[in-house]
Structure 1
Amino acid sequence: MTDKKGRPTEHRPRPVLAAVDGSANSYQAAAWAAAEAALHHLPLHILTSGALQTGFGPGMSLGEADLEWLRVDAERVVGEAERVARAAVPDEDLTITTEVAFELAAPLLIERSPTAEILVVGSRGLGAFQRGLLGSVSRAVAQHAHCPVAVIHGIAAIDPVSAALPVLVGVDGTANSVPAVELAFDEASRRKVELVALHAFSDSSALDLPAFGWEMGRQSAEADLAETLAGYAERYPDVPVRRIVVADRPVRSLVDEAASAQLVVVGSHGRGGFSGMLLGSTSTALLHSVEIPTIVVRSRR
């Protein structure tokens, strides 16, 4: 059942919130969001903004005919996104609601994020012109949203081949990565796949470390990784875990390992970050670099 005006309310479970703008990338985001909602048995809410994304509201300079055209086009966008979502999970009893708003997209999504289970956006929208460019909306919500943010790149990775690949999580040995580890275990469990936990313990190449430095660093990193993962094996006995410890830059290691994964999960900031940091260097670089869906996780604020 689809409610065309189904804005989520407080008494309903938190939905998976998908933002669309009519770009092919945003429709990939809608497909991934539908599969995610089905995995978690949650409703899917598809939202688009009919406002001109220029810093000025459409009522500032547009007439009634122009506003009506924007509204009709926005309804077309959410209608197509719903069709794509239904095609992605045709056999699921999935509740989908759609909404057209007339507010600037980034602040609107940030405002809605506390009531969403996860916010799903495309990596680049209609305004992006360069391959790999992170769109302004996806960058803003990854920095400021109050819930996990999934950024979908060129592919949704929900085909049968991709769906059998592992979930990859970046672990840095600090409390900042704990929410990411917890979410990654849950995702791997629901998807019935292996979890790859990668800990890169150096910000330089292993070639720059002397032999004794590598061995000491490896032992310490393995202990940190074991401590971070402790307890999850009992909570998620169905999830096989592969641990990888490398003396390399976290971004390069995660990008390399992401080539054989279906999903990357990272904390919003890493060992060099602090509690007020918006987005760490590793998570920022990953959003620009990987081609598979990436979830940036921070504790709800």
Structure 2
Amino acid sequence: MGKPVVVGVDGSPSSLDAVETAAHEAAVRGTGLRLVHAFGWPSVRPPLGGPPWSPAVAGVRELVDGTLADAEQRAREIAPGVDIAREVTVGEPLMVLEIESRTASLVVVGSRGLGSFGSLLLGSTAVHLAAHGRCPVLVARGRPNPAGPVLLAVDGSPAGERAVEFAFAEASMRGAGLLALHVWNTWGEGPGAEPAAPVNVVVGIERLREEEQRLLDETLSEHLPRYPQIPVERRLVRSRIRPALIEASRDAQLVVAGARGRGGFTGLLLGSVSQALLHHAHCPVAVIRGTE
């Protein structure tokens, strides 16, 4: 059995959605599932003069056991044959999940939560894990279309190569098609930015379009022979990148993006496109770090 799928659990509806997603991912991978609940020290204070706090005191153990039991039941309904382990630990939740990512095939989190994980909403939890985790991170959000494709955000960057491989593998495991979407433009992504007529005249839009099509084709070429059973749609769109990807996610069952795309700042561990998808996509989002 390979590395397990890890999911952060706090009992919130969002984390239970994440548990269902994680159970499905563990089933298609043929691996185990780890349900992880972490207590952050700032939210729990031990009694004065007492021993260091542990989940076994003050009825907290019963509460945690109930939360994990509910999560395990939900997971077994989705994937009855998956081996499930529970982990309760004291520590800063982000650090706990980051450590878990070192021995996991995938870490799954919800988009919102309660308690330990809830004080760290999507903006910090998913973004931090996507930027610093040692394995792919999947955020369970939106309403995926079970019949829809896996949507791959193609940027053509060397760092995005792992995202391409992950998307093909996911489509294969899910028995789904792959929509490889490459969005390009000749203007900025900022507010109020408009197409610049001089650029259109001087550079030549058709030549640029051909170059972007070549980039899309080359990105997929190595993987197509390895996954001949996957229906692949190549879509080249001239538009603003973030809105185009978010709109395309309406009909997808999963969006896959690299942590940092072409043209990203070297010190920026998570690019603006992947951050926008984590916050606004209409279906679950997997963010894959490159080799940097």
Residue 68 of structure 1 aligns to a residue whose secondary structure is coil
C-alpha separation in 2, matches of 1:134 and 1:61: 34
Secondary structure of the corresponding residue to residue 259 of structure 1: helix
Instruction: Output the aligned Cα RMSD.
Output: 2.5
1:71-117 residue CA offsets vs partner (Å, 9 max, x unmatched)? 22222211111111111224xx2111111111111111111211110
Which residue in 1 is equivalent to 2:287? 296
Letter of the 2:70 counterpart:
E
Deviation of the 1:206 alpha carbon? 8.3
| Distance (whole Å) between structure 1 residues aligned to residue 139 and residue 45 of structure 2 | 27
Gaps of 5+ in 2: none
Shift of 1:193: 1.3
**Residue 76, structure 1, aligned to residue 92, structure 2:** no
User: 3-state DSSP class of the match of 1:147?
Assistant: coil
Contact 2:106 2:137 in 1 (8 A): yes
Structure 1: unaligned runs, 5 residues or longer: 1-11
Match of 2:97 in 1: 109
**Residue 110 of structure 2 corresponds to residue 122 of structure 1:** yes
| 1:30 aligned partner, one-letter code | V
Work out the CA distance in 1 between the residues paired with 2:46 and 2:126: 25
Query: Which residue pairs with 1:34 in the alignment?
Result: 23
| Change over 3 Å in CA distance of 1:242–1:68 after alignment to 2 | same
**Matched residues in 1 for 2:152 and 2:99: separation?**
27
Q: Which amino acid aligns with 2:168?
A: F
1:276 CA drift (Å) = 4.5
With normalisation by structure 1, the TM-score equals 0.84
| Identity level (%) | 38
Q: 1:239 maps to what in 2? A: 230
- Deviations along 1:114-152, one digit per CA (max 9) or x if unpaired, are 1110100011112699xxx62532232122111100011
**Aligned equivalent of 2:46:** 59
Of the candidates 204, 207, 212, which is equivalent to residue 213 of structure 1? 204
Distance 1:58 1:135 in 2: 26
Equivalent-residue separation in structure 1 for 2:3 and 2:265 (angstroms): 28
Q: Which amino acid aligns with 2:105?
A: E
Match of 1:182 among 165, 181, 184: 165
Report how far residue 51 of structure 1 moved: 3.6
* Structure 1 residues 105 and 213: CA distance shift in structure 2, 3 A: same
When residues 253 and 15 of structure 1 are mapped into structure 2, their CA distance, relative to the original with a 3 A threshold, is same
- Structure 2 CA distance, aligned partners of 1:154 and 1:258? 9
Q: Which residue of 2 aligns with 1:194?
A: 177
Distance in 2, matches of 1:111 and 1:31, equals: 22
- TM-score w.r.t. length of structure 2: 0.87
Relative to structure 2, which stretch is displaced further, 106-115 or 195-204? 195-204
In the other structure, the counterpart of 2:269 is 278
Alignment partners' CA distance in 1, 2:129 and 2:106: 11
Whether the 8 Å CA contact 2:32–2:83 is kept in 1: the answer is yes
209-218 or 57-66: which moved more? Answer: 57-66
Task: Report the Cα offset of residue 192 of structure 1.
Answer: 1.1
Alpha-carbon deviation of 1:57? 5.7
Match of 1:143 in 2: 131
Count of aligned positions: 278
Secondary structure at the counterpart of residue 214 of structure 1 = helix
Is 1:18 the counterpart of 2:1? The answer is: no
Q: Deviations over 1:11-58 (max 9, x none)?
A: x63100011111100000000000000001010111011345x4x664
8 Å CA contact 2:107–2:136 kept in 1: the answer is: yes
Report SS of the residue matched to 1:163: coil
Q: Distance in 2 between matches of 1:135 and 1:206?
A: 29
Note closer, same or farther for the CA distance 1:78–1:195 as it changes in structure 2 (3 Å cut). Answer: same
Alpha carbons 2:127, 2:270 under 8 Å: kept: no
For the structure 1 residues 37 and 206, does the alpha-carbon distance in structure 2 shift closer, same or farther, using more than 3 Å as the test?
farther
Counterparts of 1:105 and 1:274, CA distance in 2: 28
What SS does the corresponding residue of 2:229 show, helix, strand or coil? coil
What CA distance in whole angstroms lies between the structure 2 residues aligned with 1:243 and 1:182? 16
